[in-house]
Chains A and B, each alone.
Chain A
Amino acid sequence: MADRIPLSKAPERWIRKKYLPHIWCPGCGLGTVLRQLVEQFEKLGWNNDEVVVVTGIGCTGRASGYVNAQTIHTIHGRALPTATGIKMARPDMHVVSLLGDGDGVGIGGNHFIHAAKRNIGITAIVVNNRIYGMTGGQASPTTPTGTKSSTTPYGNLEPSMDISKLAFGAGATFVARAHTANPVYLGQVIRRALEHDGFAVVEVLSQCPTYFGRYTGMPDPVEMVKWFQENTFMAKSPYDEQEDKIPVGVFRDDKNFRELSKAYRALWEE
């Protein structure tokens, strides 16, 4: 049976083998996200030199090093302004940014809001592991209230931030949430985001067994992935409610706004 499923060519074409093995922990969700991203590049038939991958600093930030495309690893929090500069200079490029939750909506949160407001053509994939992974498990803006972390040993006192609602409110023209328990669906959502001409946000619920898992008594990545499966529901809006579960789905896909770099070019033509 197995040999009848054709092997994907995506890893061969889109992963820089010379940088392997990667630094991610066994069972980390980042591998799933990266795999689904490069699968979509392949499915879309894009060339390696027309894709730009921009990241900040963090475990997620490391992704840019592994993708065989035009890549730039910037500083913590500044991936989106960098991506903005690239898109404005080269509207013909596919600009993709992978952001950690701290990187994307914490230290770089202001940029997130403004990139959404501008409707600049960037695909922002926010890998939400609900903790600062790289620096050792401190509470991040998306750490749920009451959750333990290395800086909140008795539970987080602050309310947590909802990335999809933030993107929604800030005016991102494509907003979706998916998780690593369903890689096929994750891939489909990423593809729609990549095809979207405007600022597209995909919030990915992803497991960090090493820190989030350990602090919440769920150090087994399989259990964490199951948790995503059992605690999410398909929804049309990030505001939909069903018990205590987290809504996932494509929440907005609005083609009515002009993408910024193209709007500029159009202005020049006039």
Chain B
Amino acid sequence: MKVALETNQLMAFAMKQIEPHVVAAYPITPSTEVVQEFSQYVANGDVRTEFVAVESEHSAMSACLAASLAGARVMTATASQGLAFMWEMLHIASASRAPIVTIVANRALSAPINIHGDHSDAMGARDTGWIQLWAESAQEAYDNVIQAIRIGEDPRVRFPVLVNYDGFTTSHAVETVEVLEDEEVRKFIGSFPRPEVNFLNIEKPASFGVLALQDYYMEFKRAQAEAYKNVKPVVLEVAEAYAKLTGRKYGLIEEYKLEDADVVLVAMNSAAGTAKETVDKLRQAGKKVGVLKIRLFRPFPIEEVASALKGAKAVVVMDRAYTYGGPAGPLFCDIAAALTNVAQRPLLGNVVAGLGGRDITMEHVEHMFNLGYKALERGSFEPLVTWVGVRE
């Protein structure tokens, strides 16, 4: 079935199909419509979800966490300051293995105050232990959110998931997308596999929020770190099953014309689309360029990234966020880490673009590829980090 909806409305529609037990949320631009539309489904009796309009995101994630630990299927949506305000609870959700799915229409952080798209919010949640899926288009956002439920809830995984797409560029754009029937979605995600240890299991009372000091804290964290190794195979398994159902196949990353590419641009979310368009244009002019798009950002697919980039001569990593005072942007640092043990390493450079909703145009992308070619002539990226599309 095809529908033409704004991406936020489409996400609400996906939530209706998923019919989580509990949604606790607080509105924030540019993701407000997701939960607002969903609350209409609740009020109309289309879903039996318990919807709690809490007074802040801190409360939203606290309520989601408790509901999830009580054995409920739980979702919410937020962005920017809202995700930042959840930060305390994000760590607890992942360490408590609460498979909450949070939809994020990525937006810049204050200051200065800005409501438009960039990746600072999700990058701020980079180290919280949440699985992160990223989407270039409305279709991918829809497909990701359905898959996120099954990935997060898989007994081998049981981690919370952030489903990202760009604020405004994607969140407020209308696209015709292919959606599943409600029944197909329910069958695909299955019923919530209630964990043996949960708040409501009176046969087996459990205590949550334990104290572990010098004696055991590190073992808890080591076990958590180890558990992410299970995620990749599950993401692929779920993608496989989803492809069988829909014909749309997803990997951990997407390689666009990489086979013979000399210069590769790494991108996430909507800018990957602009990058692909630019690749097509540059290829007509005889330039061997390609795009690597990251779909699964956490856990970071090190091996797949290394293998995808090993043939390239120069790699330009596009960050739509920055690590202030750091060596480079957050995505760059991960890509560089992924290539650490690769014998024949391509030259690596970083561009920062599109902060606070600044357009990333095909001219910008062309300039990014040119930086790669220049580096090939010179033998290195000088400087390592270039800000593109900014008044200096």
Q: Which residues of A contact B (CB under 8 A)?
A: 57, 73, 75-77, 102, 106-107, 109, 132, 135-136, 138-139, 141, 150-154
A-B contact count (CB 8 A): 43
Q: In the complex, what residues of B have CB within 8 A of residue A135's CB?
A: 27-29, 32
Complex Cα gap A138–B26 (Å): 9
Closest to A161 in B: B55
Could you tell me if B81 and A75 are in contact, using CB atoms closer than 8 angstroms? Answer: yes
User: 1/0 contact trace for B47-61 toward A, CB 8 Å?
Assistant: 000000101100000
Could you tell me if B40 and A153 are in contact, using CB atoms closer than 8 angstroms? Answer: yes
Could you tell me if A153 and B55 are in contact, using CB atoms closer than 8 angstroms? Answer: no
Closest to B35 in A: A151
Q: In the complex, what residues of A have CB within 8 A of residue B39's CB?
A: 150-153
The interface size of chain B toward A, counting residues with CB under 8 Å, comes to: 17
Could you tell me if B27 and A57 are in contact, using CB atoms closer than 8 angstroms? Answer: no
Does B43 reach chain A (CB closer than 8 Å)?
Answer: yes
Could you tell me if A152 and B43 are in contact, using CB atoms closer than 8 angstroms? Answer: yes
Q: Which of A57, A106, A138, A141 contacts B36 (CB 8 A)?
A: A138
Closest to A134 in B: B29
Complex Cα gap A264–B32 (Å): 43
Q: In the complex, what residues of A have CB within 8 A of residue B35's CB?
A: 151
Q: Which residues of B contact A (CB under 8 A)?
A: 26-29, 32, 35-36, 39-40, 43-44, 53, 55-56, 81, 110, 113
In the complex, given contacts A57-B113, A106-B56, A136-B36, what are 16 additional A-B residue pairs having Cβ atoms less than 8 angstroms apart? A57-B81, A75-B81, A77-B56, A107-B55, A132-B27, A135-B27, A135-B29, A136-B27, A138-B36, A139-B53, A141-B55, A150-B39, A151-B39, A152-B43, A152-B53, A153-B43
Q: In the complex, what residues of A have CB within 8 A of residue B43's CB?
A: 152-154
Closest to A57 in B: B113
List, sorted by A's number, 28 A–B pairs whose CB atoms are closer than 8 Å. Answer: A57-B81, A57-B113, A73-B113, A75-B81, A75-B110, A76-B81, A77-B56, A102-B55, A106-B55, A107-B26, A107-B55, A107-B56, A132-B27, A135-B27, A136-B27, A136-B36, A138-B27, A138-B32, A138-B53, A139-B53, A150-B36, A150-B39, A151-B35, A151-B36, A152-B39, A152-B43, A153-B40, A154-B43
